Structure 1
Amino acid sequence: MIKDNLQEIKNSIPKHVTLVAVSKTKPIADLQEAYDAGQRVFGENKVQEMVTKYDALPKDIEWHMIGHLQRNKVKYMAHFVSLIHGVDSFKTLKEINKQAQKHNRVINCLLQAHIAEEETKFGLSFDEISEIINSEEFNNLQNINVVGLMGMATFTDNEHQIKNEFSSLQNYFNSIKSTSKDNLHPKILSMGMSGDYQLAIECGSTMVRIGSSIFGVRNYLS
């Protein structure tokens, strides 16, 4: 079933869009099944769970941290994480840089923009993002590479609202896309999940985060 679901989604998205299989709360056997079907990019929202799965699964997997990141957890994944999606403060960026330095790595990051109406969603305003990437202090972070932006739309059935939120992020992304520094190369726009990824792609998303459409409904009791 996972293999069929994966194939169906891959057939429905353009070649230039990266599929992140969101495997949070799913057992290792499910991830192995997706891996055997050719999937190599997996997203987790809890660091400890990602570490456990990293230890158990093949080492050519790209692990993406997609959940809200607590600074004190960065050290546990700094040696292997491929991309951190939800960087929502300059302090977190500095901590990622510090931990990456210890492992002689450069860690790719996405700055999370707050585009939804809900106050519960994390993220930076566009002004705050501009302030970060234009600051002198940012230029000194040599062990991180900001490769784009991530955003989550409001959880609503109102497609017009979702489209407006995605479009606002796309417009801002386009405004900084040509900016390039040693640690800033904006090429990824991570928007869209199982319920709204087609709309996100229409609005310029180059990376979608899909869980339940691949693995089925999440089990939070395990």
Structure 2
Amino acid sequence: MTSPLVAEAVSVAALRSVMLRVQQAAERSGTRPDRVRVVAVSKTKPISMIRQLYDAGHRCFGENYVQEIIDKAPQLPQDIQWHFIGHLQSNKVKTLLGGVPNLAMVEGVDNQKVANHLDRMVSTLGRNPLRVLVQVNTSGEASKSGVDPSNCVDLAKHVKLSCPNLEFSGLMTIGMLDYTSTPQNFQTLSSCRTEVCKALEMDEEQCELSMGMSGDFELAIESGSTNVRVGSTIFGPREYAKKQ
């Protein structure tokens, strides 16, 4: 069994390897490496491991579950930029925003109801406008959250024009069931960005693409991703509690 200290040292080395691979993928695609954000997804991982990566200089971390992020965030430095990733239930909005003052972005607004809840709660708490990404279901899988690509313009328009306390920052996709994506998934999201930016009269450089995870982040960057979400490649396999 690997000791916690060894696991943390391995994670720091893995993070450095990922950052190098991100830089190389960006260079291959003609993108400046500093335009690609790496979100270290720390789902199921202990605070000590996150702290080790923080001490190594990383500041951007992501979580998928509200309870987990509100437990971890208060125990870690306030300059961490937390991303909430994936589907957010409207009844969890107050808990999330109240529990994580340094929440930097919600990646996964997939309907108008949750956008409206976020907008109202940001106003109620007196927070600065919250950056959000609209989640698009590029693979067409019923198990995945996200709007159909044909509806991405309408939801992006609602966030930008009807939610003054939210900052529409771009689009995200989860990818295929096995958490890898084909170039077609990435192309679908890129095409959505083109349509959204045309409708909102935005420069495409102002509209982020969050796509790519541990299994496909290099391909995602080469396809235009500006935000990759890397978990197991940095932290190792997820550690879910065993059922009794």
Shift of 1:129: 1.9
Q: 2:147 aligns with which of 124, 137, 141?
A: 124
Q: 2:172 aligns with which of 137, 147, 150?
A: 150
Contact 1:149 1:186 in 2 (8 A): no
**Kindly, what percent of the aligned residue pairs are identical?**
37
The aligned amino acid for 1:129 is C
Contact 1:83 1:107 in 2 (8 A): yes
Q: 2:119 aligns with which of 91, 94, 97?
A: 97
Give 2:73's aligned residue.
54
Shift of 1:186: 4.5
Q: Where has structure 1 moved over 6 Å in runs of 4 or more? A: none
Q: What does 1:161-176 align with in structure 2 at a 5 Å threshold? A: 162-176=182-196
Question: Match of 2:207, SS?
Answer: strand
Q: What does 1:1-222 align with in structure 2 at a 5 Å threshold? A: 1-14=10-23, 15=33, 16-79=35-98, 80=101, 81-105=103-127, 106-134=129-157, 139-155=161-177, 162-177=182-197, 179-180=200-201, 186-221=206-241
Shift of 1:2: 1.0
**Equivalent residues, number:** 216
Question: Match of 1:177, SS?
Answer: helix
- Whole-angstrom distance in 1 between the partners of 2:96 and 2:178: 33
Question: Match of 1:53, SS?
Answer: helix
Change (3 A) 1:88 1:17: same
Question: Match of 1:204, SS?
Answer: coil
- Whole-angstrom distance in 2 between the partners of 1:70 and 1:40: 26
1:18-48 CA deviation, whole Å, 9 max, x = no partner? 0000001101011001111111000000111
Change (3 A) 1:193 1:186: same
- Whole-angstrom distance in 2 between the partners of 1:53 and 1:205: 27
Shift of 1:165: 1.1
Change (3 A) 1:40 1:134: closer
- Whole-angstrom distance in 2 between the partners of 1:169 and 1:88: 14
- Whole-angstrom distance in 1 between the partners of 2:174 and 2:220: 10
Say which structure is richer in helix: 2
The aligned amino acid for 1:85 is E
- Please, what is the CA RMSD of the aligned residues? 2.1
Give 2:3's aligned residue.
none
Shift of 1:177: 3.1
- Whole-angstrom distance in 2 between the partners of 1:107 and 1:207: 17
Structure 2, unmatched stretches of 5+, are: 1-9, 24-32
Q: TM-score, normalised by structure 1?
A: 0.90
1:104-141 CA deviation, whole Å, 9 max, x = no partner? 22111000001014210110012322123345x86232
- Whole-angstrom distance in 2 between the partners of 1:203 and 1:113: 16
Question: Match of 1:133, SS?
Answer: helix
Q: TM-score, normalised by structure 2?
A: 0.82
Shift of 1:180: 4.9
